[in-house]
Structure 1
Amino acid sequence: MAGHSKWANIQHRKGRQDAKRGKIFTKLIKEITVAAKMGGGDASTNPRLRLAIEKAKGQSLPKDNIDNAIKRGTGQLEGVVYEEVRYEGYGIGGAAVMVDCLTDNKTRTVADVRHAFNKNGGNMGAEGSVAFQFKHCGQMIFAPGTDEARLMDAAIEAGAEDVVTNDDGSIEVITPPNDLATVLEGLEAAGFKAEFAEVVQKPLNESVIGGDDAMKMQKLLDALESLDDVQEVYTSAVIDE
């Protein structure tokens, strides 16, 4: 057993994303473009692109937007050239924070990220300052009440790396990054539907933050996530609702 309020945190995150759907579309289009640029426009041979497209469909991004993003990535259409960049830092109580961005102007992006940290009680660290506290992996989360034994059998059969039951009853399935799409398809074929499925930077150790510190930490995370160039924010902090 592991984790604290994992399910509540996932649901809270999904709620915040739904409230920012216009910005979500922009981030999805960027990710599809970069995925196609790096691995080609064929989703069947490009796991990152396949996941990006599935995520986009889950957010009801129109098919034309998806197709055009792929064409921009493969050079069939002209478009902005994005670069991947990561920033690391600390939040409230020293919680580790990693910020993944896609940008066409690193000078602008680093200034915006540093400002968000400084204004909200955090501070940016040097490259590598917190990265060792995270594991790059595929992560799926299934709702409390899911048949643990059957899910575990199906996950192992599909090629998962680990299955973890959290304190709140939710179940995590962990995979190597490039195997997430394949394992997800295997679990869906077995009748399981993940509420969350992404390649993530998973914290190796989590710290629960409550009270005023929780509100401050959430404000910092919201400030970072609201930046146009930010794709994902990962943290070792678990906000206690």
Structure 2
Amino acid sequence: MAGHSKWANIRYKKERADAKKGKVFSRIAKEIISAVKLGGPDPKANSRLRLAIQRARAENVPNDNIERNIKKAQSAETANYSEFTYELYGFGGVGIICDVMTDNKNRIASEVRIATNKRGGTIATPGAVSFNF
């Protein structure tokens, strides 16, 4: 904590809560943008967008943010988010299928490799883990 100051303590608590919210909001924003790019801006015709909006409302994302992300996805200058599936073997040979969404394939590949190696796992060849399911 910050010490004896009441307002400093409030500030630190608020910073942690805001960081959690920001992480959730950015993840949902990526989902909405990806859904609009794949299926269009109409939630009635785009089931993926409808589900993303439902998740956003469940996480208390403001409607203004939802609408802004839909408009942002329709513009041409938006980064293209791609979805990738990584198949991993975790500690003890446990099969893991990891679906990720990113705008930079090289960065996420590096992050997945580092996290997997740090925990004692390996990246499997495509189809090796999904074969078991």
Query: Which whole-Å deviations, capped at 9, do the CAs of 1:208-233 have from their partners, x for residues lacking one?
Result: xxxxxxxxxxxxxxxxxxxxxxxxxx
Residue 82 of structure 1 pairs with residue 81 of structure 2: yes
Paired with 1:61 and 1:115, the residues of 2 have a C-alpha distance of 32
Name the counterpart of 2:45: 45
Matched residue type, 2:91: I
Report the secondary structure of 1:23's partner residue: helix
Q: Which has the higher strand share?
A: 1
**Secondary structure of 2:108's match?**
helix
Aligned residue identity for 1:108: R
Show the counterpart of 2:29: 29
Cα deviation, residue 45, structure 1: 0.9
Counterpart of 1:121, as a letter, is G
Structure 1 residues 133 and 28, CA, compared in 2 at 3 Å: closer, same or farther? farther
Distance across 2 between alignment mates of 1:125 and 1:28 = 28
CA RMSD of aligned residues (A): 1.7
User: CA 1:21–1:129 in structure 2 vs 1: closer, same or farther (change >3 Å)?
Assistant: farther
Gap change, CA 1:123 and 1:21, over 3 Å in 2: farther
Q: Secondary structure at the match of 1:89?
A: strand
Structure 1 counterpart SS, 2:68? helix
Q: How does 1:54-133 map to 2 (within 5 A)?
A: 54-75=54-75, 78-133=77-132
- Which letter maps to 1:71? K
Quote how far apart the aligned CAs of 1:125 are. Answer: 0.8
Q: How far apart, CA to CA, are the structure 1 residues paired with 2:126 and 2:20?
A: 29
SS in 2 for 1:67: helix
Q: Which has the higher helix share?
A: 2
Aligned-partner Cα distance in 1 for 2:73–2:93: 38
Report the alpha carbon displacement of residue 128 of structure 1 after superposing the two structures with TM. 1.4
Q: Secondary structure, in 3 states, of the residue corresponding to 2:77?
A: coil
Segments of structure 1 that go 5 or more residues without pairing to the other structure are 1-18, 135-241
Task: From the CA coordinates, give the structure whose radius of gyration is larger.
Answer: 2
Alpha carbons of structure 1 residues 110 and 66: separation in structure 2 relative to 1, 3 Å:
same
Cα separation, 1, equivalents of 2:38 and 2:94: 32
Partner SS state of residue 108, structure 1:
helix
Q: Which has the higher contact order (CA 8 A, sep 6+)?
A: 1
CA distance in 2, matches of 1:38, 1:78: 16
Percent identical residues: 46
Per the normalisation by structure 1, the TM-score is 0.45
Give the unaligned 5+ runs of structure 2. 1-18
| Other structure's SS at 1:66 match | helix
Distance across 2 between alignment mates of 1:107 and 1:53: 29
Partner Cα distance (2:125, 2:71) in 1: 35
When residues 20 and 44 of structure 1 are mapped into structure 2, their CA distance, relative to the original with a 3 A threshold, is: same
Q: TM-score, normalised by structure 2?
A: 0.79
Partner Cα separation in structure 2 for residue 113 and residue 131 of structure 1: 18
